[in-house]
Amino acid sequence: MDESNTDVIQGTLDMLILKTLSLQPMHGFGIARRIEQVSRGTFKVNPGSLLTALKRLERAGWLDAEWRDTENSRRAKFYSLTRAGRRQLELETADWSRRVSAIARLLQAEG
Amino acid sequence: MSFWRQLTHGIHALTHRSAADREVDDEVQHFLEQATAAHVARGLPPEEARRAARLEVGSIPGVREQVRDYGWENLVESVIADLRYATRRLAAEPGFTAVTVLTLALGIGASTAIFSAENPILFQSLPYPRADRIMTIWDHGSDRSRAQVTFGTYRELRERAHSFEASAVLKPWQPTLTGRPSPSGSTGSG
């Protein structure tokens, strides 16, 4: 039994969704699946948080949503990145890198 | 933040409640189906796969509620529901409602009346230019108790005091209202 914490780091879910959608439009499950796979199982996205985040990002104007047929002809809500969303992703990525390197410096500091 | 989207999507959810709910349901359902399909693809039998997917997704009504909860329109909706509930309860107990309304009305009315009387007396400045420089001059007796000045003092002050731009005098006035059943006194200045 794997006991390790698979929660997405607080405040980073939006960025992960935006990044995932910057590659191609996807539906909710596709996004969750991809985050899990690319992170090699480090992060598992809780569907409630994911769908709420998608609703929030759509409202914010960073995503567009559209009901389309999937390859196995089921209707699903596909999300795609808007131009504002792309800009937001850049902002959040830059902010994240700044923080990560600051934490890395703090953890490596000696004396 | 796209204010316009917030507004239009919220209004759409408010006016098409059941459609919006169904959309959330469909999305959660789709998520579950996909999760099941993923487990089947990994080689689990369908029944097992469904169970595993359900474990993964968690409580479906819970997820649904969590997603529906987002947005300002839910706040509007719960306020409307609260108002409706309050109206229903008040209408069901007219006696209690009447007493409550009356108590509030009297309380508000009395406070307003008291404040309207006190406001000009205690808080607002006098309706004269540079009201902060107006003074009242009193005389005092040998025991330093306050006494009104005589008209002679006023005349002398007027003639000889140069610190004041203008002066006026108040004459005490204590008329008695005579009439039935009993006379009553009142006090004023003129």
Cα–Cα nearest to A85, from A93, A96, A77: A93
| Yes or no, beta carbons of B71 and A55 under 8 Å apart | yes
Q: Which two tokens mark B25?
A: 């349901």
Per-residue pLDDT at B3 exceeds 60: yes
- Mean pLDDT computed over A4-32: 91
- Mean pLDDT computed over B139-145: 86
Per-residue pLDDT at A96 exceeds 50: yes
Q: Nearest CB to A28: which of B1, B31, B71?
A: B31
| Yes or no, beta carbons of A55 and B67 under 8 Å apart | yes
CB contact at 8 A, A54 and A40 = no
Complex ipTM: 0.81
Q: Among positive and negative, which fits the CA dihedral B70, B76, B82, B88?
A: negative
- Mean pLDDT computed over A67-77: 84
Q: What is the mean pLDDT of chain B?
A: 86
Mutation pick from B3, B11, B26, B27 vs chain A, by most beta carbons of A within 10 Å, is B27
**DSSP category for residue A61:** T
* Percent of chain B at pLDDT exceeding 70: 97
DSSP 3-state helix, strand, coil percentages of chain A (rounded to 5)? 55, 15, 30
Whole-prediction pTM value? 0.66
Q: Is A76 helix (H, G, I), strand (E, B) or coil?
A: strand
Which of chain A's residues have a Cβ under 8 Å away from the Cβ of B10? Answer: 59
Give Cα B104 to chain centroid, integer Å.
Answer: 14
Residue pLDDT, tens place only, B20-64: 888 888 888 889 988 999 899 988 898 999 998 888 888 888 888
Instruction: Answer whether B69 touches A (CB < 8 Å).
Output: yes
Q: Is B172 helix (H, G, I), strand (E, B) or coil?
A: strand
What residue of B is the nearest CA neighbor of A72? B34
Map tokens 């997704």 to a residue: B57
Q: Is A60 helix (H, G, I), strand (E, B) or coil?
A: coil
- Mean pLDDT computed over B87-91: 94
CB contact at 8 A, A32 and B35 = no
Q: What is the pLDDT of residue B190?
A: 61
* Percent of chain B at pLDDT exceeding 90: 25
One-letter amino acid for residue B61 of the chain: P
Q: Confidence band (pLDDT; 50, 70, 90) for B86?
A: very high
Residue pLDDT, tens place only, B98-123: 999 999 999 999 999 999 999 888 88
Q: What is the pLDDT of residue A27?
A: 92
- Mean pLDDT computed over B141-165: 86
Map tokens 């999300």 to a residue: A79
Q: What is the pLDDT of residue A1?
A: 46
Q: Is B78 helix (H, G, I), strand (E, B) or coil?
A: helix
Q: Is B15 helix (H, G, I), strand (E, B) or coil?
A: helix
